[in-house]
Chains A and B, each alone.
Chain A
Amino acid sequence: MHYDIRLVIGYDYSRPVEAGRHVLCLTPPGGAAGQSVGACRLTVVPRPDEWLNRQDFFGNDMVEIAFRDAVSHMRFEMDARVERLPAPSPPGAPAALADIAGELSAVRDLGPLSPHHFIAPSARAAPDEAIAAFARDVTGHCASASAAVIALGEALHRTMAYDPEATAVDTPAAGAFALRRGVCQDFSHIMIIALRSLGIPAGYVSGFLRTNPPPGQPRLEGADAMHAWVRAWCGREAGFVEYDPTNATSAGEDHITVAVGRDYADVAPVRGVMRSAGWQVTRQSVDVRPVTDID
């Protein structure tokens, strides 16, 4: 499926802010599995004085911008045309849940996407006893790692209510879990913590969702802003599988990847520092449209 993606994020400041420096992680990479990027353009208004293209450890594309002078507004626009292939079936059988630790210590690969980087607690996915107990409860009957991923994702979707008002971007996952409410970021962090508590390496994927569903299918939650889901390592043969707990579905043709990391802190769409003495208003809009005619 081909998509035209348009993302706009705007900031208005009540008073000009100075010494702004921001790291943007907004553009889908060409190299991600199962997708290819035809064209991609990122525009920043006003024009920044510094513009540096970088790649982080995990291979995500990052842009760092800096303003020398004070600005009173800022706007990022990202347009991309991306082809997303259906999720391939895993290359091999998943490991038994009981064997996952042994499989992990047999992995010698140390590269950025090695599962070793995704098993330890991370900044936004700290271990939590309540989440670990939930994970044990709902996966007790699971034989394989991928069965556990699905059981956990479905259980979260059943238990948690999608509620954009309940949590904020800095709400800890444990807090969202206690409320049993949250958005895609909360669902994903809770699932990552749960998977790691079972010994399954798990990471965070940020990206986009198709805005309008194919005819006859329900609209997915989280399509109006950037979305997030989970990748879980199911053993040496199966590798990483991606699962969207907010919608209780495997990530597939409707999911477009922007970045992968250990949790939100690695792949936050916009991170920045500036000096300011007032408030700010933020807007975000996302449109992910299937392209029916390719010329």
Chain B
Amino acid sequence: MAMTAFDEMYGLPGDDLHTRAPYDELRRWLAATPPEQFAIRRSQAELFFRRIGITFSVYGEAEAGERIIPFDIIPRVLTGDEWAVLDRGLRQRVTALNAFLADVYGAGECIRAGIVPAELIYSNPAYLPKMAGRTVPHNLYVHIAGIDIVRVGEDAFYVLEDNARTPSGVSYMLENREAMMRLFPELFSCHRIAPVEVYPEALLATLQSVAPAGAPACPTIALLTPGPYNSAFYEHSFLADKLGVELVEGRDLIVRDDTVYMRTTEGPRRVDVIYRRIDDDFLDPLAFRPDSVLGVPGLMDAYLAGNVTLTNAVGTGIADDKAIYSYMPEIVRFFTGEEALLKNVPTWRCREPEALAYVLDNLSELVVKEVNGSGGYGMLVGPCATQGEIDQFRKKLRRSPEGFIAQPTLALSTCPTFVASGVAPRHVDLRPFVLSGTDGIRVVPGGLTRVALKEGSLVVNSSQGGGTKDTWVLEN
């Protein structure tokens, strides 16, 4: 598929001689460094990631063991001015997401005002009646957000999706920077790059700030993981280590009298904040899925009694639903009184008959996604699909249109990337992480850049063969 994509090093095609300013040094470096040198560095990078054991698993594959996510040594660069725009937009968007969730589980003003249709909320499997009418500590829901952003032109950034449940990938942001600094210290002396190493500190401060009222000044925090079989277990152990908090599984926690305790060698110790990386459904077998052995019986009681803070809050899935996403411009306007600074990708909601008819007629040009899906599973990229895949999807769409949205196939920006044949442009996206505490919003400059390694591919998810890059935000 030929698409005219904006290249972050060279700008639009036909413009090859002109390098965009932020990439000047990198271009020189690429030209001046002998290819053998790159080959050595690439194998060193691979060794680095293998040594530290930064792996993930892909569900549903025969060799479902642990894999290394491919790392590309050419960094992706954003200017300080570009970042300033994103930063403001991200803060605004996350503020709106938090207000939206508080409203959905509270007064429901945005539904009464007709901003979002009621049935889209109440018929949504991600909406949890258990949370309705309840208050969560400090009225904050999305403490840790991962907002996926794509670029299609010099000044054109779009939000592709909001991840408000348990967004992952931040460990790659940190490890990629670490790897780059070890492999190419010379690059860091000729660029002024905003540090990302402050993320663990910022996360810890955020988690401490959201402890329930009455918790000690230095609250006890634990990171709750589903365990080593989870695809992101590496990240869970990495973050617990960086934060200096205990990494616990469900069976390490007990609930007594609406209070959560952690089993320790010195007896039960009260836990004030749980950074949970377990999905809502599995948190508490008494409240949600009764067959969950990953959760903690009674945890929801302690939570709803206000004795422990869960980050993110329970029920945030309703905010990263892809059908709700299509209403984000209105949601931002309703809750902040401002126009959204970050644009949404135009979205057809297949639940609406006219939209469905359009989508069915244009399947070969659209990207169709499940409203509750994630990780690139169950989506159709029309221009890359075979006729058979399109026909199959057409049937799925007809059967349950409300389960899908469609978007135009965007020409995601490309970045120079090492591939078998040398350096070639590959499509990228960006996931910055936004932290919300009672003491404000923190955004670490940068994020995780994911790159689709297959030529022409637009799917950057690691589960679908994507890789990652270090992301530089240049300081002005």
A52-B258, A66-B256 as given contacts; A104 in contact with B119, CB under 8 Å:
yes
Comparing A106-114, A147-155, A205-213, A249-257, the segment that makes contact with chain B is A106-114
The answer to whether A273 and B297 have CB atoms under 8 Å apart is yes
Contacts of B273-325 to chain A: CB distance below 8 A = 285-286, 289-290, 297-298, 301
Q: Does B153 contact A (CB under 8 A)?
A: no
The answer to whether A110 and B285 have CB atoms under 8 Å apart is no
The answer to whether B285 and A273 have CB atoms under 8 Å apart is yes
The answer to whether B123 and A57 have CB atoms under 8 Å apart is no
A21-B298, A57-B132, A117-B129 as given contacts; A271 in contact with B286, CB under 8 Å:
yes
A50-B256, A52-B258, A110-B111 as given contacts; A119 in contact with B301, CB under 8 Å:
no
List the A residue with the shortest CB-CB distance to B288.
A123
A21-B286, A64-B301, A117-B129 as given contacts; A110 in contact with B123, CB under 8 Å:
no
Cα distance A71–B459 when bound, in Å? 54
The answer to whether A105 and B290 have CB atoms under 8 Å apart is no
The answer to whether B257 and A50 have CB atoms under 8 Å apart is yes
Q: Which applies to chain A's interface (DSSP): helix, strand, loop or mixed?
A: mixed
Q: Does A162 contact B (CB under 8 A)?
A: no
List the B residue with the shortest CB-CB distance to A122.
B125
Contacts of B59-94 to chain A: CB distance below 8 A = none
B55: min CB distance to chain A, Å: 32
Chain A residues within an 8 Å CB radius of B257 = 50
Contacts of A48-72 to chain B: CB distance below 8 A = 50, 52, 54, 56-58, 64, 66, 68
A160: min CB distance to chain B, Å: 26
Q: Does B385 contact A (CB under 8 A)?
A: no
The answer to whether A120 and B123 have CB atoms under 8 Å apart is yes
Chain B residues within an 8 Å CB radius of A123 = 289
Which of B108, B257, B297 has the most A CB atoms < 10 Å from its CB? B297
Q: Does A23 contact B (CB under 8 A)?
A: yes
Chain B residues within an 8 Å CB radius of A58 = 129
Chain A residues within an 8 Å CB radius of B244 = none
When the two chains form the complex, which single residue of B117, B132, B298 contacts A105, counting CB atoms closer than 8 Å? B117
Cα distance A141–B130 when bound, in Å? 38
A115: min CB distance to chain B, Å: 9
Q: Does A272 contact B (CB under 8 A)?
A: yes
Cα distance A139–B275 when bound, in Å? 50
When the two chains form the complex, which single residue of A23, A105, A117 contacts B286, counting CB atoms closer than 8 Å? A23
Q: Does A180 contact B (CB under 8 A)?
A: no
Q: Does B112 contact A (CB under 8 A)?
A: yes
A233: min CB distance to chain B, Å: 13
A21-B297, A50-B256 as given contacts; A116 in contact with B118, CB under 8 Å:
yes
When the two chains form the complex, which single residue of B112, B125, B130, B301 contacts A108, counting CB atoms closer than 8 Å? B112
Q: Does A10 contact B (CB under 8 A)?
A: no
The answer to whether A66 and B122 have CB atoms under 8 Å apart is no
Chain B residues within an 8 Å CB radius of A272 = 286
The answer to whether B133 and A116 have CB atoms under 8 Å apart is no
B307: min CB distance to chain A, Å: 13
B278: min CB distance to chain A, Å: 16
The answer to whether B290 and A271 have CB atoms under 8 Å apart is yes
Q: Does B463 contact A (CB under 8 A)?
A: no
Chain A residues within an 8 Å CB radius of B119 = 104-105, 116, 119-120
A269: min CB distance to chain B, Å: 13
The answer to whether A57 and B258 have CB atoms under 8 Å apart is no
Q: Does B457 contact A (CB under 8 A)?
A: no
A130: min CB distance to chain B, Å: 14
Chain B residues within an 8 Å CB radius of A108 = 112, 118
A50-B256, A117-B129, A272-B286 as given contacts; A110 in contact with B297, CB under 8 Å:
no
Chain B residues within an 8 Å CB radius of A112 = 129, 132
Cα distance A21–B257 when bound, in Å? 11
Cα distance A21–B125 when bound, in Å? 26
Q: Does A34 contact B (CB under 8 A)?
A: no
Which of B111, B125, B286 has the most A CB atoms < 10 Å from its CB? B286
Q: Does A121 contact B (CB under 8 A)?
A: yes
The answer to whether B111 and A52 have CB atoms under 8 Å apart is no
Cα distance A66–B301 when bound, in Å? 12
Cα distance A50–B286 when bound, in Å? 15
Contacts of A76-116 to chain B: CB distance below 8 A = 104-105, 107-108, 110, 112, 114, 116
B435: min CB distance to chain A, Å: 30
The answer to whether A119 and B123 have CB atoms under 8 Å apart is yes
The answer to whether B130 and A105 have CB atoms under 8 Å apart is no
The answer to whether A107 and B118 have CB atoms under 8 Å apart is yes
Chain A residues within an 8 Å CB radius of B123 = 116, 119-120
The answer to whether B129 and A120 have CB atoms under 8 Å apart is no
Cα distance A171–B124 when bound, in Å? 24
The answer to whether A116 and B122 have CB atoms under 8 Å apart is yes
The answer to whether B130 and A57 have CB atoms under 8 Å apart is yes
Chain A residues within an 8 Å CB radius of B285 = 273
List the B residue with the shortest CB-CB distance to A104.
B119
Chain A residues within an 8 Å CB radius of B298 = 21, 64, 66
Cα distance A271–B291 when bound, in Å? 11
When the two chains form the complex, which single residue of A19, A54, A117, A273 contacts B122, counting CB atoms closer than 8 Å? A117
Against A, the Cβ 8 Å flags (1 = close, 0 = not) of B226-266 are: 00000000000000000000000000001111100000000
Chain A residues within an 8 Å CB radius of B255 = 21
A196: min CB distance to chain B, Å: 10
Cα distance A19–B124 when bound, in Å? 34
Cα distance A265–B285 when bound, in Å? 11
When the two chains form the complex, which single residue of A64, A110, A120 contacts B108, counting CB atoms closer than 8 Å? A110
Cα distance A272–B257 when bound, in Å? 16
Cα distance A58–B122 when bound, in Å? 14
A243: min CB distance to chain B, Å: 22
List the B residue with the shortest CB-CB distance to A20.
B297
The answer to whether A57 and B122 have CB atoms under 8 Å apart is no
Contacts of B114-144 to chain A: CB distance below 8 A = 117-119, 121-125, 129-130, 132-133
The answer to whether B132 and A52 have CB atoms under 8 Å apart is no
A71: min CB distance to chain B, Å: 15
The answer to whether A105 and B129 have CB atoms under 8 Å apart is no
B324: min CB distance to chain A, Å: 14
Chain B residues within an 8 Å CB radius of A105 = 117-119
Cα distance A23–B297 when bound, in Å? 10
Q: Can you list 7 pairs linking A and B with CB atoms under 8 Å apart?
A: A57-B130, A105-B117, A105-B119, A110-B122, A120-B125, A123-B289, A271-B290
Residues in chain B within 8 A of chain A (CB atoms): 108, 111-112, 117-119, 121-125, 129-130, 132-133, 254-258, 285-286, 289-290, 297-298, 301
9 smallest beta-carbon distances between A and B, as pairs: A120-B123, A116-B122, A57-B129, A273-B297, A21-B297, A110-B108, A273-B285, A116-B118, A23-B286
Supply 16 further A-B pairs (C-beta < 8 A) apart from A23-B286, A117-B129.
A19-B254, A21-B286, A50-B257, A52-B301, A57-B133, A64-B301, A66-B298, A104-B119, A110-B122, A112-B132, A116-B119, A119-B119, A119-B122, A265-B290, A271-B286, A271-B290
